[in-house]
Copies of this chain bind each other. A is one copy, B any other.
Amino acid sequence: MTIERRAPRNDDVAIRITHCGICHSDLHMAHNDWGMSIYPMVPGHEIVGIVTAVGPDVTKYKVGDKVAVGCLVDSCQKCHQCTSGHEQFCVEGATLTYSSLDRRDGTITFGGYSDHIVTRQEFVLKLPDSLDISRAAPLLCAGITTYSPLKKYGVGPGQKVGVAGLGGLGHMGVKIAHALGAHVTMITTSPGKGDDARALGADEVLISKDADAMNAAAGTFDFILDTIPVGHDVNPYLNLLAPNGNMVLVGAIEPLPSVHGGLLAMRNRTLAGSLIGGLPETQEMLDFCGEHGIHPEIETIKLDEVNEAYDRLVRGDVRYRFVIDIEASRPAT
């Protein structure tokens, strides 16, 4: 079937999509694993492209601009969450980039596995010139998901930071924490990932199955970014935190096995969670990555290779994010 995009409204920006990242959540949404999917569906919320048209009220962008769209395409813009830059927590509910209902006309929103997208200007981000548009797309979800908690907890020089799990999120966590000036340790079950982690910017590698190494590192981390994408025992990681240390979950949106209250209370530790970021912080992240030359590590595919990519994603067989080259996937004209 053909998905029609709306003609630009007065405040809309029309974007010719050049690339779109594949997020693991696309797979869950496609399969309705979370019971919230709306069909027909066009997944994709890591979108970059070029502005092709703007509505008459658009002031932020002009035709030809390099832009990006992330997980959100609308919100009320009036509540305290929206006005403080946390649109993802809009009191009325944010409109997601795909499989959500447009706030104005109730039509289904469609994402970035597509040739173009039309979005109101407030939800369009500027892609810094220093970023390579063919590699930047995963910043829109994997980038902001890791940047936001690192910034919230003030990660920077002099701090010992752990990143648990080396996948789409984890590899961005290592790169950003390193660029923020922290001493970064990759915490992984797989000794085989050590070289990769170091190449990404990790100063050390801690094997989580090595009980002696885990004991030796107990109480030494200021911050841990836990990107492990499934429910898992967080107690061994909490035990790595120093007093007043913070650990943030960005992957496991599932039940966790029993957490020991004493690991939190006896050392003023924190177990938190984090969900993407608002629009101002997403722009800040893009600018930061532009300034520091931070790109995701990607494998580029064509649009007709998505099903195969999903199969490989299930097996964890990607280093570290698939990006669909939409530009190269267009039918010859």
**Contact, CB under 8 Å: B256 / A260:** yes
**Contact, CB under 8 Å: A261 / B265:** no
Is A231's CB within 8 Å of the partner chain B?
yes
Which secondary structure dominates chain A's binding surface?
A: mixed
Q: Which of B89, B243, B244, B252 contacts A261 (CB 8 A)?
A: B252
Is A63's CB within 8 Å of the partner chain B?
no
Given contacts A86-B243, A86-B244, A89-B243, whether A265 and B273 have CB atoms under 8 Å apart is yes
**Contact, CB under 8 Å: B243 / A265:** no
Kindly provide the distance from the CB of A222 to the nearest chain B CB, expressed in whole angstroms.
12
Is A270's CB within 8 Å of the partner chain B?
yes
> A residues 241-281 with Cβ under 8 Å of B?
243-244, 249-275
Can you name the residue of chain B whose Cβ is closest to the Cβ of A257?
Answer: B258
Is A189's CB within 8 Å of the partner chain B?
no
Query: How many angstroms between the C-alpha atoms of A255 and B234 in the bound complex?
Result: 12
Contact with B along A145-177 (1 / 0, CB 8 A): 000000010000000000000000000000000
**Contact, CB under 8 Å: B249 / A255:** no
Is A81's CB within 8 Å of the partner chain B?
yes
**Contact, CB under 8 Å: B261 / A255:** yes
Q: Which residues of B contact A252 (CB under 8 A)?
A: 261, 265
Contact with B along A265-304 (1 / 0, CB 8 A): 1111111111100000000000000000000000000000
Residues of A bordering B, CB below 8 Å: 81, 86, 89, 152, 231, 243-244, 249-275
